[in-house]
Amino acid sequence: MTTRYRQLIGVILGLFIKSGFANAATVPVAATDVARDWDSLYWFLFYVSLFFFVGIVAAMILFAVKYRKQVHKKSAYIHGHVGLEILWTVIPTILVFWIFGWGWVVYKDMVHAPSNAMEINVVGKQWMWQFVYKNGTSTIGDLYVPVNKPVKLVMSSEDVIHSMFIPNFRVKEDVVPGMYTSIWFEAKMPGIHQIFCTEYCGTSHSGMLGRVVVLTAEQWKDWQSGKKIDVDSLPADPTYPGYRANRLGEGLPAEAGQAPHQLSLAEKGKALISAKGCVACHTSDGTKLVGPSYKGIFGKEEKMSDGKVVTVDENYIRESIENPQAKIVAGFPPSMPTYKGLVNEEELAAIIEYIKSLK
């Protein structure tokens, strides 16, 4: 084989090895045992594919060079080889059955929740996730669970098909109106893990985000007793650089060597609007989505669907948050759920201040 062809094979091999390492660097962290099992199978498939790709391409190049057409030279007739044909039939067959069996075992572990799993109800709606716990507590956007405890999510949709996907746990399931579906996981890594909706569900599908907040045993006990958890102090997954945009109370990043930035009331309101999922239906730049934009709305008179005119002030905003069906702005659907009990007085003040600041 000439030096040129050896170099070509080397380049192809190098590119695939490099792509493998690059892929390993960007794959989501494995925060459950099932995630680690899936990753093991994934990398096995990757390197088996790499091995056969390099081997086949190298053989093609070798044969193309060795048996290229030459003047006054006739290629020898090659007969079949029974042993070789059996070998390349049996080995791939065994390999395929091995992969199938491996995948089936991991799949069974993923779909069958343990009998002692803690159940949490999930309601998908345009465009937010609502989590309802056995003690009657309800949260929007943030799912609180204990570490090292099996958790089963029993899910349904109020409107269209959504899909719950938690990359760090390697679990995903459609959330369908009119029926219940479920997924389960046992988080092994305390901190914040991203939730996505992976079924296109309308205008603000990309804004239908959430977070799994995995708490230690002590933090979980405190949360269940009604104590406030400092979510910002928890470790967060660096795989998703945008996770801070959804973090409640997150401020601007401090520059190196400087003290952390102190949030103003309006900045806290901005962070809350993102954390509570309001950005899925409302904008701050005048663009209309499912609901009216916040920009320039404070102090303005708005016409309601019943023909009445209302001035947007503090009381109107509060009522719209706690009892959104009381007054519906003309031209918009009555699709907003109530946030009564989900936003405290301090948070209400911050949200109103942020809306006031949008001239």
Question: 28 — phi, psi (to 5°)?
Answer: -60, 155
CATH 1.10.760.10 fits 265-357, yes or no: yes
Cα 351 to Cα 318: distance, rounded to the nearest angstrom: 9
Q: What's the pLDDT tens digit per position in 242-292?
A: 444 343 333 323 333 333 345 677 888 888 888 777 888 888 888 888 889
More confident residue, 341 or 108: 108
Residue ranges of domains in the chain: 3-111, 118-245, 265-357
Q: Starting at the edge strand that comes first in sequence, how are the strands of the sheet with 138-140 ordered? A: 138-140, 128-132, 118-125, 151-157, 181-185
CATH 2.40.160.20 fits 118-245, yes or no: no
CA atoms within 13 A on the CB side of 252: 11
User: Looking at residue 272, what is its pLDDT?
Assistant: 84
User: Of 40, 36, 20, whose CA–CA distance to 99 is shortest?
Assistant: 40
Output the CA torsion sign for 326, 331, 335, 336.
negative
Please state the pTM of the whole predicted model.
0.64
Cα 337 to Cα 343: distance, rounded to the nearest angstrom: 13
CATH of domain 3-111: 1.10.287
Asked whether the beta carbons of 101 and 109 are under 8 A apart, the reply is: no
Number of H helices, E strands in the chain: 7, 12
Tokens 């053989």 correspond to what residue?
59
* CB-based contacts of 235, cutoff 8 Å, min separation 6: 190, 191, 192
User: Of 215, 195, 219, 197, whose CA–CA distance to 206 is shortest?
Assistant: 197
- Residue type for position 239: T
Q: What's the pLDDT tens digit per position in 190-232?
A: 888 989 999 998 888 888 888 899 998 888 888 888 888 777 7
Q: What would you measure as the largest C-alpha separation in the chain, in angstroms?
A: 97
Q: What's the pLDDT tens digit per position in 63-93?
A: 888 777 777 777 677 777 888 889 889 998 9
